[in-house]
Amino acid sequence: MADRPRPGPGRGWLLRLVIAFAFAQGAVSMARPAVSYRALALGADETAVGVIAGVYALLPLFVAVPLGRRTDHGRCAPLLPLGVLLISGGCALSGLVSSLPAMAAWSGVMGLGHLCFVIGAQSIVARQSAPDEQDRNFGHFTIGASLGQLIGPIAAGALISADSGALGRTSALALLVSAGVCAVALASLWRIEHRRTAGSGPAPGDKVPVRAILGARGVPAGILISMAVLSATDILTAYLPVVGEHRSIAPATVGLLLSLRAAATIACRLVMTPLLRLLGRRALLTTSCLLAGLLCAGVALPVSVPVLAVMLAVLGFCLGVGQPLSMTTVVRAAPDGARSTALALRLTGNRLGQVAAPAAAGLIAGAVGVAAPFVLLGVGLLGAAGLGLRGEGRTGPSPRGPEPDDEEGTQTEPAPVGEAVSDRSSRRSAPGGCPRDRHADRSPRSGG
C-alpha cells in the first residue's frame, strides 16, 4: 500500500465531499416528501403530485450536457456552492408559495441545484481517484447520499403533521428547515479540488461528440441501469406518502420507512468491495436489480407495516448496488477527456427517468390505483436486470476473477504503479518500445 501514490494529499477531500453531499441530499430527501404533502394540502390529486415530482427533473434535462462539457475543460468545484444555493432557494420558496404551478417551478430549481452539485462532485471523484480506487471512492461518495436519504425523511416525518388541518403549515415548515440544512453543506466545501487535477481535461476545442460517448461499450447499459434504479428510489420517496395516506399510515411512520430503506442502502455500500470480490460485477448487478424489481412490485400488495418495513429494508439494500457501479462503468467506458460529459449523460438519463416515471406513475395512479406505479417500477428494474446480464456479459470481468479493475474499458486506464514501473524498466533495454511509451508513462495520479 505504501508504494502506491495517491492522486492528492490524503483522502480528506473525499470525507469533506461526503459530508457536504449528506447535507445537500438530506435537504432534498426532506423536501421531496414535504413537497408532496404540501401539494396534497393545497388540493392536488395523485396526478398533480406526479407532475410536480416530474418537474423537479425537467429543467436539468436541458443543462446537464453543457455543464458536463464545461467541467471537462475546467474546474469542478464552483458547481458545488452554486448547487447548494439553488437547492436552498428552491426548498425555501416551495414552502412560501401557495399555488401548485409555483411549487412545480421551485421544485425544478431545486432539481437544477441538485444536478449542479452532483455533476461537480462526481467529476471530482473521477479525476482524483486512481483507477483501482474508483469503485471504493464512488461507493463512499454515494454513502453521503444515503445518509441524507436516511435522515431527511425522518426529519420531514417528525415535522409534518396531518392533525387538525395542519398539513399545509407543517409541510411548509419542513421545506424551510430543509433550506437551512442544505446551507450547512457550504461549511465543508473547502479545498475539495486539487490544483493539479483542476482543468486537467482537453482543450475546449477538443470536444468528443455525444454520439461517440454513447457509442462506447458499457456507457448505454450504465445509463439505463442507473435510470431504472434512481427512478425506483425517486418514486418510493414521492409516492410512499400517498400510499401512506391511502392506508392510514402516519407521516412519521412513512418517514421511518423511507429512512429504513436508506439505512439498508448505506449498509450495502459499506460492504460493496467484499460483495464485488465474492460475486463479481455482473452477478451483483443482475441479482440486485432482479430482487429489487420483485420487491418494488410487492409494495403494491396490502401488507402490514412490519412486513412493508422488511420489504423496504431488503429493497434498499438491493438498490444500493446500481448507482456506484454505474458511475464506475460510465467513467471507465467513456473516451478520455469526456468523462464529466459521460457522467452528465448518465445524469441526463436519470433526470429523464425522473420526469417520465413520476408523470407515468401519476397517470397510472389516477386511472388504476395508487399502488400501480410500484408494479411499473418493478417491471423497469427487471429490465435493468436483463441489461446487467447482457451488458456486463460483454464488458464485465474476465474469467480469471471478479476484480473491479477487470471491467470493460480498463484498456484505456493507467496501469497500476508496479506494472508501469516494471514495463518501463523492461523497455529501457528493449529497442522499438517507443510506440507504447506514452501510454505506459501515464500514472494513476490522473485517475479521473
Mean pLDDT of all residues in 135-151: 82
Percentage with pLDDT > 90 across the chain: 13
Give 218's pLDDT tier (boundaries 50, 70, 90): confident
> Are 179 and 92 a contacting pair, CB within 8 Å?
yes
Tell me what pLDDT residue 263 has: 86
Q: Is residue 85 over pLDDT 90?
A: yes
CA atoms of 332 and 303, how far apart (whole Å): 42
CA atoms of 323 and 140, how far apart (whole Å): 11
**Burial call 157-192: b when 16+ CB within 10 Å, e when fewer:** bbbbbbeeeebbebbbbbbbbbbebbbbbbebbeeb
Mean pLDDT of all residues in 182-194: 85
Owner of C-alpha cell 471530482: 124
Tell me what pLDDT residue 395 has: 39
Of the two residues 389 and 40, the one the predictor is more confident about is 40
Spatial CA neighbour of 330 closest among 222, 404, 408 = 222
Sequence-ordered list of residues with C-beta below 8 angstroms from that of 137, at least 6 positions apart, any chain: 14, 125, 129
Tell me what pLDDT residue 81 has: 92
Tell me what pLDDT residue 354 has: 67
Tell me what pLDDT residue 206 has: 59
Count of C-beta atoms within a 10 Å radius of residue 393: 11
Tell me the per-residue pLDDT of 288-333, one tens digit each, with 9 for 90 and over: 888 888 888 888 788 888 998 999 999 989 888 888 887 877 877 7
Of the two residues 404 and 212, the one the predictor is more confident about is 212
Percentage with pLDDT > 70 across the chain: 77
Q: Across 46-55, 118-127, 416-425, which has the greatest mean pLDDT?
A: 118-127
Give 447's pLDDT tier (boundaries 50, 70, 90): very low
State the cell numbers at 331.
467513467
Owner of C-alpha cell 448547487: 83
Tell me what pLDDT residue 244 has: 81
How far is C-alpha 158 from the chain's CA centre? 25
State the cell numbers at 25.
441530499
Task: State the number of CA atoms in the 13 A half-sphere of 334 facing the CB.
Answer: 29
Using a 10 angstrom Cβ sphere, with 0-12 exposed, 13-18 middle and 19 or more buried, the burial of residue 74 is: middle
pTM value is 0.67
Of the two residues 186 and 76, the one the predictor is more confident about is 186
Of the two residues 380 and 440, the one the predictor is more confident about is 380
> Are 296 and 315 a contacting pair, CB within 8 Å?
yes
